[in-house]
């Protein structure tokens, strides 16, 4: 049972990881290209509109995607009923979201250009919330390769569209429309896959069932609100306190972090339905899966954060050019955030799986409030550096809160001390090697892009070799890998 489940988790995570690596890299290229071509001011407007759209569209999503994954993974025969009612709810909530967006943007006095781009990106993010419902079906049925396919389709079409538009003299508004148009195509594809392979088309609407569905998803909704405020409110606040140019500079660094956050997020998406099932069938397997998962996320997150810290200047120059070099200090600060972001979501998914989402919600609400207060204090005086510092401090507090919750419900973190010294040592070797290599080889590279890629690969190789040499793979890991291979 462990081997079969582990193989399924591995297959799902591998498909999501592969697609996300490609799509996130290409998305980062798209954003970097826009940043270079549009300049700090227009890119700042685009970044604000993108962040605003993602934040306000949470109202339309209402946590329905999360609740569908959990409930359908436990009872797949009810998939059609859940999906049809969720779609009706989402249409109603989207109308409310559009009205609230209109009020906010006009009350806050944004310029016509900013509002126009914001409305277009709102349309894009609203369509994404509908696509997420179909992703929920794929995840609940543990067929994440469909999720992966659609994400790749989106980013390749978007890449082609943006390059075509910019090269032919189009600007900010036309590029924003490309996001909207391509998401509409992606939504149609997700719709067709869902209704031809998983769920029969149903137009039923059950008011009582829908009301209960919204009630159960409300905790997820508030959770998403708090996460959204935590992730995107700083860019909205910077736009009013410091201007859209600083939003562009902050977003340049934040986009790099977002490009890496997908790893713990995708692992969480892959393991969430499994955790939910284990909570019903075997608490022992749930604890085992949590501990293994925490170990793997720690091993991945620590070198990623350390490498970003060391190479921050090179990364910014390679992606965005000299115009955005002041973003490098923001990237250094946010490197600490990315490490914690590898650990915290796993604990959050575990709390949801054991029906303790109210505790996850409390932690997220506390973190969101602290983040807003810190931003109010730090942004006016320190600008984008203050916003980055607020994000890092908040994530540290988040970790402390989550640790207290997860320990209380039978998941003590004492097991961490059995392996922590090995990734820490390997990371130290990697960091020292990067500093040493930088002194020797930097003068041999004429291209900053090639130099940065070479240094990243070099760091990954050094870390991996060191980690394997000191025996990071224990008996349980070997046994699990052996079972996965034999059952494949």
**Read out DSSP for 409-439?**
TT--SGGGGGTTHHHHHHHHHHHHHHHHHHH
Measured CA to CA in angstroms, residue 415 lies from 286, 407, 459 at distances of 15, 12, 27
Domain count along the chain: 2
- Asked whether residue 488 is assigned to any structural domain, the reply reads no
Taking 80 as the threshold, does the pLDDT of residue 108 lie above it?
A: yes
What backbone torsions phi and psi does residue 331 show, to the nearest 5 degrees? -65, -40
Same structural domain for residues 287 and 423? Answer: no
In a domain, 365, yes or no: yes
- Residues 212 and 155: beta-carbon distance below 8 Å: no
* Residues 464, 323 share a domain: no
Q: How far is CA 371 from the centre of its chain?
A: 18
Q: Is residue 203 part of a domain?
A: yes
Residue 378 vs residue 292, higher pLDDT: 378
| Same domain as 178, residue 250 | yes
* pLDDT above 80 for 177: yes
286 lies in the same domain as 431? no
Question: At residue 198, what are phi and psi to the nearest 5 degrees?
Answer: -125, -45
Q: How many percent of the chain have pLDDT more than 70? A: 91
Reply yes or no on whether the pLDDT at 421 is more than 80: yes
Residue 478 CA: distances (Å) to CA of 13, 23, 210, 391: 19, 31, 46, 37
Whether 443 and 392 share a structural domain? no
Which pLDDT score is estimated for 231? 72
Q: Under DSSP, is residue 470 helix (H, G, I), strand (E, B) or coil?
A: coil
Whether residue 457 sits in one domain with residue 371: no
Average pLDDT over residues 18-26: 78
User: What gap in Å lies between CA 16 and CA 215, rounded to an integer?
Assistant: 30
Q: Is the pLDDT of residue 416 over 70?
A: yes
What confidence category does residue 392 fall into, taking pLDDT thresholds of 50, 70 and 90?
very high
Mean pLDDT of 98-102: 93
**Are 321 and 405 in the same domain?**
yes
Q: Which of 79 and 233 is assigned the larger pLDDT? A: 233
Residue 445 domain flag:
yes
Lowest mean pLDDT among 1-5, 232-236, 409-413: 1-5
Report the range of poorest mean pLDDT among 6-20, 149-163, 366-380, 409-423. Answer: 6-20
The pLDDT assigned to 225 comes to 80
473 in the same domain as 343 = no
Instruction: With CA atoms as reference, report the closest residue to 376 among 238, 201, 474.
Output: 238
Task: Mark whether 244 and 333 lie in a shared domain.
Answer: yes
Do the domain assignments include residue 444?
Answer: yes
- Residues 151 and 261 placed together within one structural domain of the fold: yes
Domain end position, chosen among 370, 385, 418: 418
Claim to verify: residue 185 and residue 282 sit in the same structural domain? yes
Are 304 and 446 in the same domain?
A: no
More confident position, 421 or 345? 421
The verdict on residue 79 lying in a domain is yes
Inside any domain, residue 78: yes
Q: Does 98 reside within a domain?
A: yes
Report whether pLDDT(248) > 50. Answer: yes
* Domain carrying residue 338: 2-418
């Amino acid at each position: 049972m462990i081997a079969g489940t582990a193989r399924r988790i591995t297959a799902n995570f591998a498909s999501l990881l592969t697609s996300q690596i490609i799509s996130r890299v290409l998305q980062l290229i798209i954003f970097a290209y826009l940043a270079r071509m549009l300049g700090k001011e227009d890119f700042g407007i685009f970044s604000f509109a993108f962040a605003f759209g993602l934040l306000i569209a949470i109202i339309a999503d209402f946590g329905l995607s999360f609740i569908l994954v959990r409930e359908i993974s436990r009872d797949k025969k009810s998939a059609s009923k859940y999906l049809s009612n969720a779609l009706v709810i989402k249409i109603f909530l989207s109308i409310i979201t559009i009205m609230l967006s209109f009020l906010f943007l006009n009350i806050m006095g944004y310029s016509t250009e900013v509002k126009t781009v914001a409305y277009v990106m709102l349309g894009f993010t609203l369509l994404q919330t509908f696509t997420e419902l179909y992703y929920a079906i794929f995840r609940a049925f543990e067929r994440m390769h469909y999720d992966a396919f659609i994400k790749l389709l989106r980013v390749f079409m978007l890449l082609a569209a943006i390059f075509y538009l910019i090269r032919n003299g189009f600007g900010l508004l036309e590029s924003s429309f490309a996001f909207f148009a391509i998401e509409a195509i992606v939504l149609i594809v997700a719709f067709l896959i869902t209704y031809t392979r998983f769920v029969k088309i149903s137009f039923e609407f059950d008011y009582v069932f829908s009301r209960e569905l919204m009630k159960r998803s409300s905790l997820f909704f508030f959770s998403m609100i708090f996460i959204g405020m935590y992730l995107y409110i700083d860019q909205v606040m910077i736009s009013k306190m410091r201007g859209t140019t600083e939003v562009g500079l902050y977003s340049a660094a934040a986009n790099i972090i977002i490009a890496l956050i997908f790893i713990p997020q995708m692992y969480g998406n892959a393991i969430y339905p499994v955790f939910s099932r284990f909570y019903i069938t075997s608490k022992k397997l749930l604890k085992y899966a949590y501990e293994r998962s925490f170990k793997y996320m720690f091993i991945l997150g620590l070198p990623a954060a350390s490498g970003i810290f060391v190479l921050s200047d090179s990364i910014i120059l390679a992606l965005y050019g000299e115009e955005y070099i002041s973003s490098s200090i923001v990237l250094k600060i946010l490197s600490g955030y990315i490490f914690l972001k590898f650990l915290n979501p796993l604990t959050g998914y575990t709390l949801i799986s054991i029906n303790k989402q109210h505790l996850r919600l409390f932690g997220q609400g506390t973190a969101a409030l602290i983040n807003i207060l810190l931003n109010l204090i730090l942004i006016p005086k320190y600008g984008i550096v203050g916003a980055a510092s607020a994000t890092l401090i908040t994530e540290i507090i988040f970790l402390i809160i989550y640790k207290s919750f997860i320990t209380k419900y039978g998941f003590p973190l004492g097991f961490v001390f059995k392996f922590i010294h090995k990734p820490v040592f390997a990371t130290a070797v990697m960091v020292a090697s990067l500093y040493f290599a930088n002194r020797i080889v930097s003068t041999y590279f004429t291209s900053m892009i090639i130099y940065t890629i070479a240094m990243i690969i070099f760091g990954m190789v050094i870390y991996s070799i060191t980690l394997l040499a000191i025996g990071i793979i224990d008996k349980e890991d070997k046994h699990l890998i052996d079972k996965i291979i034999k059952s494949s």
